[in-house]
């Protein structure tokens, strides 16, 4: 079956009804002067009543004119014949940004039409369907265009705004410089050379929730207007089968408005809901009251000054309880005269019976990462004292001269934070950086504990779930997938490990860039690419000169004098 280099040439077929209409027209009679009356009968017109249309009569002139119109059309559409050995490799990379949900139907139709057009450019086409989320597997690979479209219909984007170029570069390496690479998106982007864009979006003003913070039973949410015109929305709260009265909110152009309130009485979870538009993903905002894991802390017997500091520190840490029967964290005292380190996770404080009055030489410095990052240690003053002997593998956090003041050590599977100076002979207890570092370590120990917790997440956020190594890997309840990310769509979810609950979560959409559709557009760079592929994989009609001569002969044969 031929392919056509210029489909617009089929417009020449409009000449056929024009030719037929002309031949339907009856030529008007002419006045002829005759000297003999009996000749008038032969000159009388066939249509005595003067009708302009009459029965179409077959004539050589009619058929030659029709033939000429068909031949002209055939030459104008530039038929080409695909070579029997022509093959092509086509890779489609789908934009995994969730904004693609707003143009899903338009995207399916555009890919269907373009894939059918590309498929005609070769006898054999090898298809591959990928997405810009490189953590996801290949959606389809094979020769069937129908199977390709089936895989496309079952696909859902999962990511917020991101850079698709790494996935496109990987697809280019897959093609090896041979084939067609198509990026399917909803807006124009700066793409690597050789990548063709198929954009199926449309711009519109959008309004939705853009984030939430919860403290106890109080919540505060943001509503974002991504549009050039002010918008008015109704919003309400849903908790189970209960629904509050709608309230009206006016959002200025390209503006953000904060709303706040409290959870309904007796409810630990609820949803904020607003009137939806073409992108409904952020019109619902599920949230729950956070619940931290309990941290069981044991205190060693300590000198009065250290014991008082321990008490003040524990009062500032949330959800702390006495250990029963095993401690998650120990506040231990290291006696240099009877050195012994605890076997589990602990913060170890050096207690020197007789610290010196002098200060260690050198300036205080801190590591730019880990627990000490972004903390100001310039005001720390410590007296020289006995210290914990260093070991290979210790990670120094803060040091003065050549003396480590704070360092991390791993004892088996348990981390130790060593305060390698006597807190009593320093101003560390009054230094915010020191107290904050201790808090960070305690929270790391809490995060590593395999216990239930309740938290609010953003959709597709990475999950750090502490697991029991003796049980199967944690999964999201109702799914066989490992619990690596929060769900891609807003809603409540649970992470379980075997029969034990690990996380009670609420996922809400809060990506303002992905929810901005003002730059969305439609563009199709595949038509020109398909034309080039057809030119490369096909040969022109070898009989074109014959048809040209036949066209000339038909036109000459259909011409006659009036």
Contact call for residues 528 and 114 (beta carbons, < 8 A): no
Nearest to 8 by CA among 81, 73, 99: 73
Residues 148 and 160 in one domain: yes
Query: How many domains does the chain contain in total?
Result: 4
Domain assignment of residue 505, yes or no: no
Residues 210 and 199 in one domain: no
Residues 92 and 189 in one domain: yes
Measured CA to CA, the distance from residue 447 to residue 319 in angstroms comes to 13
Specify which residues 220 forms β-bridges with. Answer: 213, 260
Residues 166 and 227 in one domain: no
Residues 8 and 68 in one domain: yes
Measured CA to CA, the distance from residue 306 to residue 348 in angstroms comes to 11
Residues 148 and 223 in one domain: no
pLDDT for 480: 76
pLDDT for 36: 61
Tokens of 229: 């015109």
Which residues span the domain enclosing 217? 206-288
Residues 336 and 418 in one domain: yes
Domain assignment of residue 109, yes or no: yes
Domain assignment of residue 296, yes or no: no
- The CATH number of the domain where 163 resides is what? 3.40.50.410
Q: In angstroms, what CA-CA distances link 123 with 119, 128, 537, 542? A: 8, 17, 9, 19
Nearest to 123 by CA among 511, 455, 534: 534
pLDDT for 42: 55
Residues 196 and 96 in one domain: yes
pLDDT for 361: 84
Handedness of CA 530, 536, 538, 540 (dihedral sign): positive
Measured CA to CA, the distance from residue 438 to residue 152 in angstroms comes to 50
Domain assignment of residue 488, yes or no: no
Domain assignment of residue 477, yes or no: no
SS3 527: helix
pLDDT for 50: 47
Nearest to 455 by CA among 507, 398, 415: 507
Domain assignment of residue 556, yes or no: no
Measured CA to CA, the distance from residue 408 to residue 367 in angstroms comes to 12
Task: Kindly give the parts of the chain with pLDDT less than 70.
Answer: 1, 5, 25-56, 81-82, 324, 356, 535, 537-539, 560-562
Residues 115 and 195 in one domain: yes
Domain assignment of residue 551, yes or no: no
pLDDT for 539: 65
Residues 128 and 172 in one domain: yes
Measured CA to CA, the distance from residue 442 to residue 314 in angstroms comes to 10
Tokens of 505: 């979560």
Contacts of 137 (CB under 8 A, 6+ apart): none
Is residue 367 classed exposed, middle or buried when 0-12, 13-18 and 19+ CB atoms within 10 A define those classes?
middle
Residues 175 and 114 in one domain: yes
> How is residue 291 annotated by DSSP?
B
Contact call for residues 128 and 141 (beta carbons, < 8 A): yes
pTM of the complete model: 0.71
Nearest to 212 by CA among 252, 248, 253, 261: 261
User: Going along 107-245, which residue ranges are E strands?
Assistant: 124-131, 140-142, 180-185, 195-200, 206-215, 218-226, 231-239, 242-243
Domain assignment of residue 483, yes or no: no
**Residue position matching structure tokens 């002010």:** 230
Measured CA to CA, the distance from residue 203 to residue 135 in angstroms comes to 29
Residues 98 and 194 in one domain: yes
Of 266, 288, 310, the residue at which a domain comes to its end is 288
SS3 396: strand
pLDDT for 562: 45
Of 385, 413, 429, the residue at which a domain comes to its end is 429
Contact call for residues 124 and 87 (beta carbons, < 8 A): yes
Specify which residues 295 forms β-bridges with. Answer: 320
Per-residue b/e over 31-61, b at no fewer than 16 CB within 10 Å? eeeeeeeeeeeeeeeeeeeeeeeeeeeeeee
Of 429, 454, 481, the residue at which a domain comes to its end is 429
Tokens of 473: 């890997």
- The CATH number of the domain where 276 resides is what? 2.60.40.10
Tokens of 420: 């390698």
Nearest to 543 by CA among 49, 221, 172, 71: 71
Measured CA to CA, the distance from residue 237 to residue 261 in angstroms comes to 10
pLDDT for 118: 87
Contact call for residues 372 and 366 (beta carbons, < 8 A): yes
């Amino acid at each position: 079956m031929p392919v056509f280099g210029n489909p617009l040439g089929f417009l020449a077929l409009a000449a056929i009804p024009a030719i037929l209409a002309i031949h339907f027209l009856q030529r008007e009679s002419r006045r002829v002067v005759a000297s003999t009356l009996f000749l008038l009968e032969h000159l009388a017109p066939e249509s005595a009543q003067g009708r302009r249309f009459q029965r179409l009569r077959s004539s050589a002139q009619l058929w030659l004119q029709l033939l000429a119109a068909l031949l002209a059309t055939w030459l104008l559409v530039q038929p080409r014949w695909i070579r029997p050995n022509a093959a092509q490799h086509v890779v489609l990379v789908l934009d995994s940004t969730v904004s693609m949900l707003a143009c899903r139907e338009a995207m399916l139709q555009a890919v269907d039409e373009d894939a059918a057009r590309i498929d005609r450019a070769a006898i054999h086409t090898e298809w591959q369907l990928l997405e810009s989320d490189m953590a996801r597997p290949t959606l389809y690979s094979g020769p069937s265009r129908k199977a390709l479209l089936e895989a496309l219909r079952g696909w859902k984007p999962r990511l917020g705004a991101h850079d698709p170029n790494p996935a496109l570069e990987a697809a280019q390496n897959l093609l090896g410089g041979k084939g067609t690479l198509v990026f399917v998106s909803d807006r124009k982007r700066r793409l690597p050379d050789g990548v063709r864009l198929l954009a199926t979006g449309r711009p519109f003003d959008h309004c939705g929730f853009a984030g939430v913070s919860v403290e106890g039973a109080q919540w505060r949410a943001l509503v974002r207007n991504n549009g050039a015109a002010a918008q008015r929305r109704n919003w309400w709260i849903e908790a189970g089968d209960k629904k509050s009265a709608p309230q009206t909110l006016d959002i200025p152009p390209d503006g953000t408005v904060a709303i706040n309130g409290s959870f309904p009485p007796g409810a630990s979870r609820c949803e904020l809901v607003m009137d939806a538009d073409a992108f409904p993903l952020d019109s619902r905002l599920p949230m729950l009251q956070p619940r931290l894991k309990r941290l069981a802390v044991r205190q060693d017997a300590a000198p009065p000054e250290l014991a008082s500091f321990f008490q003040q520190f524990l009062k500032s840490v949330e959800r702390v309880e006495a250990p029963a029967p095993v401690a998650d964290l120990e506040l231990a005292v290291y006696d240099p005269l009877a050195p012994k380190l605890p076997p589990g996770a602990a913060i170890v404080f050096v207690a020197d019976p007789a610290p010196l009055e002098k200060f260690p030489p050198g300036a205080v410095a801190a590591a730019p990462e880990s627990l000490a990052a972004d903390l100001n240690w310039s005001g720390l003053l410590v007296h020289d004292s006995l210290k914990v002997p260093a070991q290979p593998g210790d990670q120094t956090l803060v040091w003065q001269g050549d003396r480590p003041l704070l360092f991390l050590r791993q004892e088996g599977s348990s981390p130790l934070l060593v305060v390698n100076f006597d807190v009593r002979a320093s101003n560390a207890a009054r230094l915010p950086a020191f107290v904050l570092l201790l808090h960070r370590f305690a929270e790391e120990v809490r995060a590593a504990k395999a216990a239930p917790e309740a938290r609010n997440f953003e959709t597709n956020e990475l999950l750090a779930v502490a697991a029991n190594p003796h049980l199967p890997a944690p999964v999201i309840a109702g799914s066989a997938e490992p619990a690596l990310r929060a769900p891609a769509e807003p809603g409540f979810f649970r992470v379980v490990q075997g029969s034990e609950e690990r996380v009670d979560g609420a996922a809400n959409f809060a990506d303002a860039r992905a929810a901005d559709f003002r730059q969305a557009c439609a563009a199709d760079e595949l038509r020109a690419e398909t034309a080039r592929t057809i030119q490369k994989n096909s040969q022109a009609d070898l009989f074109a000169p014959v048809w040209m001569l036949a066209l000339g002969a038909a036109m000459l044969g259909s011409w006659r004098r009036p």
